[in-house]
Structure 1
């Protein structure tokens, strides 16, 4: 809930639980404000579909992410909920 506020907790959790991949929801920030560098330093690549205020999702992975699709194809939804 709001990655801007919870980034230290996420980084601590990832250091303690070095998972290969993890999904995040309710980022509450746009793509441009996503902490790519901090997560790269922690060893993760990120695919992000951000949105200010309510929604926004991301996938973090130890491996590069390819062919990322944002939203459900052919489904008109203005909310950033699916990646």
Structure 2
């Protein structure tokens, strides 16, 4: 399974099937999920770094991860509303 799709599922575990279905149908959704996975990887790298900008970069990537996860959640809510 695509690592971006796995990242999206980690943020919305109750919507696994819907995420997998949409990822099969939409390249732009897969790319968004890939962006989430990339941002999470960059955050992990910065968290393990010993560099002067560590705290600033971690804050930026945490914000980016939250924003991407929220965007994925909004897409899921629009396409697959919860009852």
TM-score, normalised by the number of residues in structure 1 = 0.25
Task: Name which one, 1 or 2, has greater alpha-carbon Rg.
Answer: 2
Indicate the structure with greater strand content: 1
Structure of greater relative contact order (alpha carbons < 8 Å, 6+ residues apart): 2
TM-score, normalised by the number of residues in structure 2 = 0.25
